[in-house]
Amino acid sequence: MKKIAIVGITGYSGLECFRLLYYHPEVEVVNVYATSHCGEKLADVFPQFDGLTDLVIENFDRQEVIEKCDAIFFATSSGVSKELALTFIEQGFPVIDLSGDFRLKNPETYKKWYKNTNVDMEYLFKAQYNLADLGKATKPYIANPGCYATATLLALAPLVQQDLIELDSIIVDAKSGLSGAGKSLSEASHFVNVSDNMSMYKVNMHQHIPEIAQQLKVWNSDFHALQFTTSLIPVTRGIFVSSYVKLSTGVGFEQVYEAYKKCFANKTFVRIRRQMPQLSDVTGTNFCDIGLAYNPVTNILTVVSVIDNLMKGAAGQAVQNFNQLFGYDECLGLKFMPQI
């Protein structure tokens, strides 16, 4: 039984991590940390946990974690783990980091996109960016992929890895529910502005763009750039990504379809659908559902990928990475059917 600590328990991803790990058969959550509500019982702050836990929210204590726990989850906003996690990296203590602090390997790229100073290269190279459905968590420090990046990379992986498309043709239109913005209030997240509305934001400036580009470049050195836009839609949970690409000369739809089936043949949490997926197909699950459509007139392939941003896009993939790191069945604690 692994003893776990969660930092950032009061955020959406932190609460989702706690919910998943509470039912994980090989885990006991023994410490939860935050910068607010310290000294209060978790169940008093979040009544949905009444009768389920006696844990008290605490101020972060690095030494307590090292002495009492086997691993720690950082469900924090960017800029936190790069300050709090360095001791864990130095000691090789297992960390699953849901923030963006260790995803990018180029400090200058981090400064540009996160408007913040990155950590030393020494620490960056000790972290492993791991897209759980296409990789294997092996290093003690795991940088969990972002939600938009997860849905986009899973959608594009077979095409880019096998050079099936014109690499300069990638256009991605990504839409997210409101929980993807976190709990911080803003005018953009006000009910009046979100309800019955749709708005595009961070045009050509979203921090997941370099993360996506970095991995696509790993898969295919000829890749250079993509067009990527993000929109906010009036739903609580979900990422809906529509990707448009031109197939390479001589490549047909059947070849593409077989490439997807082969790429994800043994991947429990990626489903290639016979019809176009919708958000409700994956709500509350760790699945990524992918649908394909080809227009022979324009030679454009449309790839639709949907995930629950708090599950596959955050806590679910984090638990999947934890399972890989500790040698468990990667599905452990994650076998949920979609919510109706």
Order of strands across the sheet with 71-74?
A: 57-58, 27-33, 2-7, 71-74, 95-97, 141-143, 127-129
The identity of residue 287, as a single letter, is F
- Give 31's contacts (C-beta < 8 A, 6+ positions apart): 4, 5, 6, 55, 58, 61, 64, 65, 68, 69
Helix%, strand%, coil% for the chain, nearest 5: 35, 20, 45
147 flagged as catalytic: yes
Taking the CB of residue 93, how many other CB atoms lie within 10 A of it? 18
Q: Which two tokens stand for residue 146?
A: 């972002």
Phi and psi at residue 110, to the nearest 5°: -60, -45
Tell me the two tokens of residue 198.
Answer: 């749709």
Amino acid identity at 224: H
**246 touches 302 (CB < 8 A):** no
Q: In which region does residue 8 sit, left (phi positive, over 0), alpha (psi from -120 to 50) or beta (all else)?
A: left
Q: Which residues contact 253 (CB under 8 A, 6 or more apart)?
A: 247, 292, 294, 296, 301
Nearest to 287 by CA among 338, 218, 327, 219: 338
**CA Rg value for the chain:** 20
Q: In whole angstroms, give the CA distance from residue 140 to residue 36.
A: 28
User: Annotated catalytic residue: which of 17, 147, 263, 288?
Assistant: 147
Q: Which are the catalytic amino acids?
A: 147
